[in-house]
A and B are shown apart, each in its own frame.
Chain A
Amino acid sequence: MGEFFDRPRLSRECRWAQRHMSDYLDGDLAWSRRRRMERHASVCPQCRRVLAMLRRMVGALHRVPPPAGGADARQIAASVRRRLGEPPPP
């Protein structure tokens, strides 16, 4: 799975940036590393683009609605309620 990180055309700084993008987006990078990421993104269009896509994707994931179909909560509760007296599986 190294193809996401280790493409030969990436510079060492690009590889560093792409390994730390999640931490950057989650606010988990120390100040000096944040600055390093921002400096790099300001001069590297490729990493800036990857970072922007990641940010957009994580934003979209936050808005994914619950899967449709299947049982609803009350149906599950009713089924579970009926089975509470069952002995545990061996």
Chain B
Amino acid sequence: VPAVGPGAIGPGDVDRPRALVSRPVLSDRVFRITVRSAGSLVLVIMALVGTFLSLRAASALKVSGWSFLTESRWEPDAGHFGIAAVLLGTILVGGVAVTISLPLAMGTALYISEYAPKRLSRTLIAMVDLMAAVPSVVYGLWGFFFLQGHVTGLARWLATYAGWFPLFKVDGAHPNDPLATTTVYTSSTFIAGIVVGLMVTPIACSVMREVFSQAPLGEREGAYALGATRWGMVRAVVLPFGRGGIIGGTMLGLGRALGETIAVYMIISLVVSVQPHILQNGGSTVSALIASKYGEATPFGTSALMAAGLSLFLMTLVINFVASTIVARSRSGAESDA
């Protein structure tokens, strides 16, 4: 009888892992096929959107070639069309929006996570989240019927005293004439940018607040123990920890701001030409161009609009990916117990 035990195994015997074959039962196979087909269907739909957009856009791009990026006119049926003007307008609206929303979102996020009393902060979080769900047409109404009338004074002041800066220049303005009409300051990129900025602030704010509130307690208390004031603690712990959230939240907001249609379309008076003066009446964005031109467009004109839409999509896509990468890479990533 051979001895049984660990010592008895000869050098030739090697433990080989058993082949583990798991055969799912029938119900599981049905389940897996169902969910997999749902996933595939979603993939097909999304791929369809992408490929169809690209195909239709390609037929327009073939005609225009590289001048699509440099041409500022939009006369697709005459062969002159490009996104130089509308893309510049989109970026300007997005730039104004971020300038407005970054300090507002950061300050409010810091207030909610660091300064507000605990009971109040729950209410504030709900309020900010609710504001992110308010339809954009409501912001558009406010911008058109209220803000427009009240912000022209500020715009005139900026144009008068900062007009030497090319962005703030206003053609056709008479700053020294007290009876001059203010219509030259209405329907501008600036006003549209403020409205869009206010609209995306709640989105950016809730991302930042989420990240700020995850700043580790030990490091916070360490900063206090070393004698830091509250602001010192925020600067030394919360802001460095939440840097990814700040950048990511701002870029998510920027992505929404670039794609926003209806609020911009209501406020701005569409001028498809290179117009870098943000305080001046008239401006353009890609989405406002699509919303105003799709109705009378010929099939080729629709293709050209598709190309414009595709370039907008690519821009927001890049921004969103960079944003989510930054949020995921930063220390702010959520730890789950899985």
Partners in one complex: no
